[in-house]
Amino acid sequence: MTRTMTILTDVKLITCIVQRGMSDIIVKAAREAGAQGATVTYAKGSGVRERLGLLGVAVEVDKEIITIVVSSQQMDAVFEHIYLAGQLDVPGMGFLYVTPLEKAATFIPNDVLDKIKP
Amino acid sequence: MPQTETTPSHHPPGKWITCIIPAEHGLDIDLMTTLKNGKGVITTSSSRCRGYSGWTVTNPPANAMPPANPVSVVTVVVAEDRAEEIFLFLTQRITHALQEGNAILFQGVLSHLSQYELPVGIPGEGHINTL
């Protein structure tokens, strides 16, 4: 039996670190922007102030790390959706970054494969 | 007093490979054990996470959260010249999960990599002591 494997090469990894409880909002925003999956890990943060001065906003030590693999084409849209949904322009809410990937392998439905084949 | 300058020894450029797989059936332990015993790779780690996979859902509502499943994230760090071999090995080990849409495997480049070796000659290592 011959098996074929689809290797995606034009992919990026988006990592977002936010306060605990925010991951649902981030995953939902990523999905609305076209992302097909996400992974959420619980973590402890450090090096942040417990309170942000005049604002009086507590910065939780408990964090959630969301990782999402996206195509390079989708990257900007997913990045922007996450940034806005997570209110990452507000001090202490979190941050995100993108790591280039060499390749990725996963299951892709045939109808999607047909669309992306050159 | 003369000072001895120590410099960290570096491997050739490395790569990291991450497998996100179902947390059931100890698949992460199986991967790490076979990497160690079959390929001599000991620079692996595993953690438990919550995973969302869109491919496994048929016609999901646009504004709803996809169902979450427990997943294991296995990260493997290897020298650059072994990355292709290990990537292929991992895809073969998790073929079933990949075909079911429950897994993803991806690889990236590391700019720096330190050496990692286990101590040798420890008495009793590798043996299970029973009372």
CATH number 3.30.70.120 is the correct assignment for the domain at A10-100: yes
- Strand B104-110's sheet: what is its strand order? A7-8, A103-106, B104-110, B14-22, B68-79, B44-53, A37-44, A62-71, A11-19, A94-100
Composition of chain B by helix, strand, coil, percent to 5? 25, 30, 45
Angle in degrees, 0-180, between the axes of helices B27-39 and B83-93, rounded to the nearest 10: 140
Alpha helices, H only, A1-118: 23-32, 72-85, 110-116
Q: How confident is the model at residue B131 (pLDDT cuts 50, 70, 90)?
A: very low
Q: Is 90 exceeded by the pLDDT of residue A40?
A: yes
Which value does ipTM take for this structure?
0.81
Domain ranges of chain A: 10-100
**What's the one-letter identity of residue A101?**
L
Which fold would CATH assign to domain B14-45+69-110?
Answer: Alpha-Beta Plaits (3.30.70)
Which residue does chain A place closest to B58, by CA atoms?
A109
Q: pLDDT digit string (tens) for B52-68?
A: 886 555 555 666 677 88
Contact A104 B104 (CB under 8 A): yes
Q: Is 50 exceeded by the pLDDT of residue B130?
A: no
On whether any CB of chain B is under 8 Å from the CB of A10, the answer is: no
Which residue does chain A place closest to B92, by CA atoms?
A5
Contact A36 B53 (CB under 8 A): yes
Count Cβ atoms below 10 Å from residue B29 Cβ, excluding itself.
Answer: 12
Distance between CA atoms of B23 and B26, rounded to whole angstroms?
A: 7
Q: pLDDT digit string (tens) for A82-93?
A: 999 999 998 888
Q: pLDDT digit string (tens) for A55-64?
A: 666 666 789 9
**Rounded to the nearest 5 degrees, what angle is found at the Cα of B78, between the Cα atoms of B72 and B80?**
135
Contact B108 A105 (CB under 8 A): no
For chain B, the average pLDDT equals 82
